[in-house]
Amino acid sequence: MSDSKNISIKDVAKHANVSTATVSHVINGTRFVSEDTKRKVHQAMNDLNYRINFVARSLRSRKSYVIAFLAPILASETSNYFFMSVAAGIQSVLKQNHYHLVLSDSHEEAEYEADEIRMLGSQMIDGLIMAPASRELDYEHLFGDYPVVYLDRVPNNSNRDCVVVDNKTVSKEAVQMLIGKGHKRIAYLSGPNTLTTTEERVAGYLEALSEAGIEAESDLISIGEVSLDSGYKLTESLMRHEPTAIFVTDNVMAMGVMFYMQEKKISVPEQIAVVAYDEFQWTRITSPPLTVIEQPAFELGVKAAEVMLERIDNAGSPRQEHRLTANLVVRQSS
């Protein structure tokens, strides 16, 4: 299909009666070329249907203009808008700067993740933005010679740039709101503890409780796998300890929670209040519409991309750490 022979800069040069250097400079605008010559070159490129070989360019110039974003984006059951919105944010700034975004999926599993980092290899990308699957892994030995910006989560002892959400403050705020409405038995449900985000959210929860003089009960704290099923089952156990409210910090698990309430005909918020995380859209039309914590996903991506571009520009500049504010959206489930 189309032209099977590959036209190179050399062919263009010959066809336009100029040197390859001139063609290259016309393409890149990297030194003066007379209008006349420019025209000839463009003509030739058109005639031959020339298309630049990015691989060759990148090999030679040691610059690919490609940034990779590695996160758990594809995970099958999980419907992760969050990272998709982040990706959209990243892309919006990369595009303006003529960078290209490559999305890479970690499956939220260390092994997949390491695999992907290796595949990214060296020279293929100019930078990596990643949401690590665990804070306990040592990633440094996997990375190539490009800058890395951590997003949403940070591994222990990292001294890389990072852009995260202030999970603790907003979680505390959510729990305080619940307490303000008179709740004393507030359950906490979340995904695995290997994530910094989980840790911060539980910290906010505990702090709100302790400041209100409410003693935390381990029976009311449930940490498990991220899936609708697991959300459902964990809710079942949690309910045996008679919470009057439940704070679930993952949107997929939240589906499990709501599914349970619906099935058992437990009315929300009359019998139990629910506060969830993420998923701004669908939770508007659940029954009742859910009170949720809305993370600044797009902005997170924008910031991370900006930090990355600055880092590429200036490898020696001081480490940046940004902590964006999330938003408690009170609807009818609490």
Partner DNA sequence: ATGAAAGCGCTAACAT
Partner DNA sequence: ATGTTAGCGCTTTCAT
Binding of a second copy at residue 266 (CB under 8 A)? no
- Contact 209/216 with Cβ under 8 angstroms? yes
Sites for a second copy among residues 185-244 (CB under 8 A): 228
Interstrand relation of 245-248 and 221-223 (parallel, antiparallel or unpaired): unpaired
Binding of a second copy at residue 23 (CB under 8 A)? no
Question: How many angstroms from the chain centroid is the CA of residue 316?
Answer: 25
Binding of a second copy at residue 286 (CB under 8 A)? yes
Binding of a second copy at residue 124 (CB under 8 A)? yes
Min. distance of Cβ 8 from DNA in angstroms?
Answer: 3
Min. distance of Cβ 102 from a second copy in angstroms?
Answer: 5
Min. distance of Cβ 171 from a second copy in angstroms?
Answer: 23
Residues 6+ apart with CB under 8 A from 221: 187, 188, 202
SS3 at position 20: helix
Q: Which of 29, 34, 36, 121 binds a second copy (CB under 8 A)?
A: 121
For the chain, the straight-line distance linking the first and the last C-alpha, in angstroms and rounded, comes to: 59
Q: Which of 21, 59, 266, 330 binds a second copy (CB under 8 A)?
A: 59
Task: State which residue, 96 or 210, has the beta carbon closest to a second copy.
Answer: 96
Instruction: Output the six-digit token pair for 32.
Output: 């003066």
Interstrand relation of 291-294 and 327-329 (parallel, antiparallel or unpaired): antiparallel
Distance between CA atoms of 303 and 86, rounded to whole angstroms?
A: 10
Distance between CA atoms of 228 and 260, rounded to whole angstroms?
A: 10
Q: Which of 47, 77, 111, 138 binds a second copy (CB under 8 A)?
A: 77
Residue count, binding to a second copy (CB under 8 A)? 60
Task: State which residue, 50 or 247, has the beta carbon closest to a second copy.
Answer: 50
Residues 6+ apart with CB under 8 A from 286: 258, 333
Residues near a second copy (CB under 8 A) = 1-4, 6, 51-56, 58-59, 64, 73-77, 79-81, 84-85, 87-88, 91, 100-103, 105, 118-119, 121-124, 140-141, 143-145, 147-148, 228, 252, 255, 258-259, 262, 279, 281-282, 284-287, 289, 298
